[in-house]
Amino acid sequence: MEAKRQDLNVFGMTCAACSTRVEKSLNKAVGVERANVNLVTESAAVYYDPEQIGPEQLIDIVKHAGYDAAEKMSKEEKDAVLEKQFKREVRRFILSAILALPLLLTMVTHIPYLHHTAFAMGVDEVISPTIQLILATVIQFYIGWRFYDGAYKSLRGKSANMDVLVALGTSAAYFYSLAEYVRQLINPNIEAHYYFETSAILITLILLGKLLESYATSKTTQSIAGLLKLQSKEAVVLRENREWKVPVDELAIGDVILVRPGEKVPIDAVVLTGETSIDESMISGEPVPVEKKAGDTVIGSTVNFDGVIQAKVTKRMDETVLSTIIQLVEEAQGVKAPIQRLADRISGIFVPIVLAIAVLTFVIWMIATGGVLDQSLQVAIAVLVIACPCALGLATPTAIMSGTGKGAESGILFKGGEHLERTAKVDTVIFDKTGTLTEGKLRVVNMLEENANFTRFAVAMEDQSEHPIARAILAYLEDQGVPQVQVEKIRAKAGHGMVGTLDGVKVALGSYRFIANAITIPKGADGEMQTWMQAGQTIVAMSVDDDFAGAFGLLDTPRKEAKEAILRLHELGIKTAIASGDQRVVVENMATELGIDQVYAEQLPNDKSDIVADLQKKGHVIAFVGDGINDAPALATADTGISIGTGTDIAIETGDVTLVGHQLTLIPQTIQLSRATMRNIRQNFFWALAYNCAGIPIAAIGLLAPWVAGLAMAGSSVSVVANALRLKRLKLK
C-alpha cells in the first residue's frame, strides 16, 4: 500500500536536539515509513501505512517524546496559536527583565577592585540577600519552569536538549547561592558569595534570544504568506439568473462565475462568454497581459484587465494552480536536505559531550583552585550555556526556507531541500527542443502532396495527437475544407509518429527518418525535403500502402531569451546540450544559433534517458529540462529534472524543480539560487561550529562570565537566521 502523508504541527521544540528527538521517535514507530521534522516551521511530515498506524497514534508518539502536537492547522489557526504563544513569551520576558534588573546591579559586587567601593556596599544594603533570593526564585521557578519541564521530558525520552543545559546551568548557580544564603543565616559572620543574578540574567537573556529568533525565523515564512494573500476570498457566481457573492471555498466545479474589469479571477475556470486580457505575471512571470476568449482557461488569483467574462469553474480551491504552488513550497520547506541530516547527527551527540566537558571543567577547576566551589561552578555554567547547539540546528532549515521562498517569488519551485542541494552541483544541462528551447508555435511553411488523400489522411491522423507538430498541421489545414475520413485504427509509435488504417488503407505519418526507413522515397521528393531540412525545417512525411504520399515542412523559432539563458549557463561554468527527436541537421542548426555545446538528434524518449545515464556514469551531474510529459523518462533519470511550462500545465509529479511560466532565464537562476543557498548553509555551519569550538575552551579557562555566554548564545542564533535572510535580497540574473 502506498504510504499516506500526515502533516503535524509540533510545539515546544527549542533546538536541533529537540527536532532530532521527535524525528527519531516517529521513525522508530511501527508503520512509519519516514518522518521529517522542521524546527523552524515547528512541523512534521510523516509518511505512514494507515493499516498499521493513524494520526492519533502519531500525535501520541510526539507527546510521549515530550512535545505537544496536533494535526496540521489552517494558517489562520496556527498563526493564532503562535501569536498567543509569542505574546505570552513577551510578557514573561518583560516580567523577567524587570525582576532581573535589580539583580544586574549586584554584579558590581563581583568585579575586582569595585566590590569594596561605596556604590557596591550601597547596592548590598538596598538589595539584600533576601530580596535577591525572592527575585531569583520567581525567575527560576515561575518564568524558567519551561526549562525544567523541557529537560524532564527530554531526559525521559533518553535524550538531552538545550533545556537540559539551561536547567543544569541556572540551577547550579541558584542552588549554590541558596546554600550560601542558608550558611550565612546559620553563621552571620561568614562572607557568603551569591550568584542569584547569574541564573536570573541567564534565563532573561535566553528568553530574549528566543524572542529575537522567533521574530527572525518568521521572516523566512513570508513567501508562503505572500502567496496566500494572492488568493481571492470572494467570487460572484451566477445562479437562477442572479448574481450572488459567495466565499471562494463554497464554489463547486461547474459553477458559472462573473469577473469584471479590475477584479481578480477567483478560481481556475474556462471562459464561456466575453473577451478580455488577463495579467498572469504572478504565475507565468510574463509582464504582457494574455488575451482570453471563449474556450480559454483562466487561472485563479490573476487579474482581469478590460473585459467582462463569464467562466465555468473547472477545479476545486485546493486543486488550483496557486494552491498547488503553495503546497509545493510548503512541502519543499519541510523536506530536509541531506546536509541537514549531518547537523542533526552532530546535535544528537553534542549535548552529552558538552555535559561531560562541563563536569570535567568543574573537576579540573576544583583541583586547580584548591576547592574554590563558586569559581569552579561559574566556569562550568559558562561552558554549559555557551555550548548550546541552537545556531547549528537553525543553520540549514532557515536557509532552505529562505531559498525556496525566494524561488517561489521568482517562479522557481523546488520539490524539497534535497533537490535544491543537488541542483547546486549540476555541471551539465540538457534541453528538450520543441516547446522548450523553441516557441512551440510551429507553422507549416512547405507542403509536398503526391497522393490525393494526403491532406485528408493528415487531418485524421494528427487529430489523434496533442503534440505541437500535430496542432500546427491541423491549424494549417483547417481552412481547406478537408472531408472526413473513416478511421479504423490508429496507433502511436513513441518518438516516431503514428500508423493506422484509414478508409481501408495502411497509413504511416511521422518523422523523415521513420518514413525513409520504411519505404523508398522518390529522388525528387527526397531532394526537396533535404533542402527544407538544410533550412532548419522539421519534416513530417506520410506513406500510404508503403508508397510516399507527401510531406510537410514546419518551422519553429528559438525563444527570444534562449540565447541569453545559454550564455548565462556558460558563465556559471555549465555545459549545455540538446536532446531531440528531430532531424540532425535541424538540431545542429539550432545548437549553432544558440551556442549550445553538444547535440543529440533523432532521439526517442528512452534514448534521452540513456544519454543522461551515460553522462552520469562519466561523473557528470545532469539537469534535464523538458515539458514533463514526453520527457518523463529523462526527467526521472536526471539528477535534477526541471519541468518548464505554462502555469496551467505544471508537471509537478515528474520534475524535481518546476518553473512556473516559460522563461528560459529561470534555468540559470535556478542553479544560481541553489548554489547561493548551499553557500549560505555552509557559512551558517562554519560560524555555528566555530562559535561553539571557540566558545567552549574560552569558557573553560574562565574568561567568559555565564551571563556573557548567554548573550553570545542568543546572538549566535540570531546571526545565523539573519545570514539566511540575506537570500531574500539575492538578485537573480
Transcribe 323-337 into DSSP letters: HHHHHHHHHHHHSPP
Residue 98's pLDDT is 92
Burial string for 415-448 (b: 16+ CB within 10 Å, else e) reads bbbbbbbbbbebbbbbbbbbbbbbbbebebebbb
Question: What is the average per-residue pLDDT within 452-456?
Answer: 90
Q: Are strands 297-298 and 598-600 parallel, antiparallel or unpaired?
A: unpaired
Where in the sequence numbering do the catalytic residues fall? 432
Residue 672's pLDDT is 95
pLDDT of 512 strictly over 60: yes
Residue 161's pLDDT is 66
Mean pLDDT of the chain: 80
Query: What distance in Å separates the CA atoms of residue 386 and residue 393, rounded to the nearest whole number?
Result: 15
DSSP 77-143: HHHHHHHHHHHHHHHHHHHHHHHHHHHHHGGGGGSTTTTTSHHHHHHHHHS-HHHHHHHHHHIIIII
Give the lowest-confidence range in 64-78, 221-235, 305-319.
221-235
1-53: per-residue pLDDT in tens?
Answer: 567 888 888 887 766 667 778 888 888 888 888 888 877 677 888 888 888 88
Strand partners, 239: 242
Strand segments, DSSP code E, in 434-528 are 443-449, 487-493, 497-502, 505-511
Identify the H or E element spanning 641. strand 640-645
Give the lowest-confidence range in 192-196, 305-309, 450-454, 567-571.
192-196
Residue 342's pLDDT is 66
Are 538 and 556 in contact by the 8 Å Cβ rule? The answer is yes
Strand partners, 551: 448, 541
- pTM over cut 0.85: no
Task: Please count the other Cβ atoms lying within 10 Å of the Cβ belonging to residue 515.
Answer: 23
69-78: per-residue pLDDT in tens?
Answer: 888 776 667 7
Give the lowest-confidence range in 71-85, 205-219, 513-527.
205-219
pLDDT of 380 strictly over 70: yes
Sign of dihedral through CA atoms 610, 614, 617, 622?
Answer: negative
pLDDT confidence tier of residue 108, bands split at 50, 70 and 90: low
Strand segments, DSSP code E, in 409-568 are 412-414, 428-431, 443-449, 487-493, 497-502, 505-511, 538-544, 547-555
**Percent of the chain topping pLDDT 90:** 16
Residue with more model confidence, 312 or 149: 312
Task: Please count the other Cβ atoms lying within 10 Å of the Cβ belonging to residue 505.
Answer: 15
458-477: per-residue pLDDT in tens?
Answer: 988 888 776 778 888 888 88
Which of 108-117, 141-150, 625-634 has the highest mean predicted lDDT (pLDDT)? 141-150
Question: What is the average per-residue pLDDT within 82-106?
Answer: 84
pLDDT confidence tier of residue 322, bands split at 50, 70 and 90: low
Nearest to 342 by CA among 421, 277, 396: 396
pLDDT confidence tier of residue 647, bands split at 50, 70 and 90: very low
Residue with more model confidence, 556 or 495: 556
Nearest to 561 by CA among 642, 439, 667, 664: 664
**Which grid coordinates belong to 659?**
518553473
DSSP 669-689: HHHHHHHHHHHHHHHHHHHHH
Residue 567's pLDDT is 95
Residue 545's pLDDT is 93
H, E, C per residue of 654-670: CCCEEEEECCCCHHHHH
Question: What is the average per-residue pLDDT within 260-275?
Answer: 87
Residue with more model confidence, 681 or 636: 681
**Which grid coordinates belong to 521?**
522515397
Residue 137's pLDDT is 94
**Which grid coordinates belong to 644?**
518548464
Query: What distance in Å separates the CA atoms of residue 582 and residue 432, rounded to the nearest whole number?
Result: 10
Domains of the chain: 4-73 (3.30.70.100), 234-320 (2.70.150.10), 413-438+558-668 (3.40.50.1000), 444-557 (3.40.1110.10)
pLDDT confidence tier of residue 569, bands split at 50, 70 and 90: very high
The residue to which cell 523553441 is assigned: 438
pLDDT of 330 strictly over 80: no
**Percent of the chain topping pLDDT 70:** 80
Identify the H or E element spanning 245. strand 242-247
Query: What distance in Å separates the CA atoms of residue 155 and residue 492, rounded to the nearest whole number?
Result: 64
Query: What distance in Å separates the CA atoms of residue 720 and residue 396, rounded to the nearest whole number?
Result: 9
- Please report, for residues 97, 257, 656, 665, the alpha-carbon distance to residue 569 in angstroms, rounded to integers and kept in the order given: 54, 44, 19, 9
Residue 118's pLDDT is 57
Radius of gyration in angstroms for the set of CA atoms belonging to the chain, rounded to a whole number: 34
144-193: per-residue pLDDT in tens?
Answer: 898 888 788 777 767 666 677 778 778 877 888 888 889 888 888 887 77
- Hey, is 251 helix, strand or coil? coil
Which residues neighbour 36 within 8 Å (Cβ) at sequence distance 6 or greater? 23, 44, 45, 334, 335, 336
- What percent of the chain is helix, strand and coil (3-state, nearest 5)? 55, 20, 25
Query: What distance in Å separates the CA atoms of residue 693 and residue 685, rounded to the nearest whole number?
Result: 12
Residue 707's pLDDT is 64
668-705: per-residue pLDDT in tens?
Answer: 999 999 999 999 988 888 887 777 778 888 888 888 77
pLDDT of 228 strictly over 60: no
Q: Are strands 640-645 and 622-626 parallel, antiparallel or unpaired?
A: parallel
The residue to which cell 524546527 is assigned: 39
Which residues neighbour 701 within 8 Å (Cβ) at sequence distance 6 or greater? 379
Query: What distance in Å separates the CA atoms of residue 581 and residue 96, rounded to the nearest whole number?
Result: 70
Residue with more model confidence, 604 or 425: 425
Give the lowest-confidence range in 126-130, 250-254, 395-399, 712-716.
712-716
Query: What distance in Å separates the CA atoms of residue 600 and residue 431, rounded to the nearest whole number?
Result: 10
**Which grid coordinates belong to 307?**
473585459
